[in-house]
Structure 1
Amino acid sequence: MLSPVTDPDGAPFWEYAARGELRVQVCAGCAEPRFPPRPCCPHCRSFDSDWRPVSGRGRVWSYVVAHPPLLPDYAAQAPYNVVVVELEDLPRIRLVGNLVPAPGAPLNSLPPDGIRIGARVRVVFCDGGLPQWVLA
């Protein structure tokens, strides 16, 4: 499994995820949420930010099923899904992950025909904080 590459702006996301918390960066100046994390608010240009906890509930906004050829570390797990989840609390924020039947399940453990646009999901965490999604 690949490890996330962190930078100063995104590191808090992964620190919270490692504790089992889903948080989104929010501008401390105008309260606009932003993802991916970045140093400056695109709305008011403030450099101040906070990290707001979110419910972890959402819906499948889009998805793809990956087939070989892939990166060598993932080829043995193919075919597997990658979903884009629109957060219930912050509908303009969309996160990418995998839809699995249970936390820590293999990426290829959910048949592709079990995925639907609009399906309700909730976040789960595995492997020290990697966000994944399960059907709600």
Structure 2
Amino acid sequence: MTRITLRDGDWPDPPASPEAAPFVEAAREGRFLLRRCTACGKAHWYPRALCPFCLGETAWEEASGNGTIYSFTVLTREDPVRTVAYVTLAEGPTMLTSLVECDAQALAIGQPVRLVFARSRNGTPVPCFRPADPSASPRS
């Protein structure tokens, strides 16, 4: 088996863009922002200026940082092992992210998770999630 080396916390730098600047600035302050359509009212992820549902204009809003695991996979060929997941946010959208600070064997679909920011190589905050209550085991 081939092992792929990934240093803990060595996340790739997200591409810089003027459209993402408010998100990055808020993340540096520990706040998580989403975009919500001013026409249809739906929140979405990945943040973009036009609504992916109706092409209406969108506005930034602060999100709770709470979600549940929709699906996940454990990348055992990476060193250290990494868990990638789809997390459904409390505000509605589902986002692709990484699960951190957790035991992959104790994870379960529907498990509550909470936002944490990892740092990329240049220090840009990267949204990740960890179990909402690390001491609770969903497979009791």
Q: What residue is the counterpart of 2:43 in the other structure?
A: 33
Find the aligned partners of 1:7 and 1:100 in 2 and give their Cα distance. Answer: 26
1:23 aligns with 2:40: no
Name the TM-score, length of structure 2 as normaliser. 0.72
The residue that corresponds to 1:119 in the other structure is 111
Q: How many residues are matched?
A: 118
Quickly say closer, same or farther: Cα 1:43–1:98, change in 2 above 3 A: closer
Q: 2:129 aligns with which of 113, 119, 133?
A: 133
Q: Deviations over 1:29-83 (max 9, x none)?
A: 333212212232234433x321111111110111111133xxxxxx432x21012
Once residues 18 and 3 of structure 1 are traced to their aligned partners in structure 2, the CA distance between those partners, rounded to angstroms, is 14
Indicate if the aligned counterparts of 1:83 and 1:96 stay in contact, CA closer than 8 A: yes
User: Residues 96 and 18 from structure 1, CA distance in 2 versus in 1: closer, same or farther, beyond 3 angstroms?
Assistant: farther
Residues 29-68 of structure 1: pairs in structure 2 closer than 5 A: 29-46=39-56, 48-68=57-77
| Aligned mate of 2:88, from 86, 89, 94 | 86
Q: Is 1:76 the counterpart of 2:79 in the alignment?
A: yes
Q: Aligned residues: percent identity?
A: 30
Indicate if the aligned counterparts of 2:36 and 2:44 stay in contact, CA closer than 8 A: yes
Q: Secondary structure at the match of 1:12?
A: helix
TM-score normalised per structure 1: 0.74
Task: State whether residues 48 and 58 of structure 2, in contact with CA within 8 Å, keep that contact through their aligned partners in structure 1.
Answer: no
Distance in 2, matches of 1:43 and 1:82, equals 26
Structure 2 residue runs of 5 or longer lacking an equivalent are: 1-9, 133-140
5+ residue gaps, structure 1? 69-74, 102-109
1:94: how far off? 1.3
Structure number with the higher strand fraction is 2
Distance in 2 between residues matched to 1:42 and 1:80, nearest whole Å: 30
Change in Cα spacing, 1:57 to 1:76, as seen in structure 2 (3 Å) is same
CA distance in 1, matches of 2:129, 2:58: 26
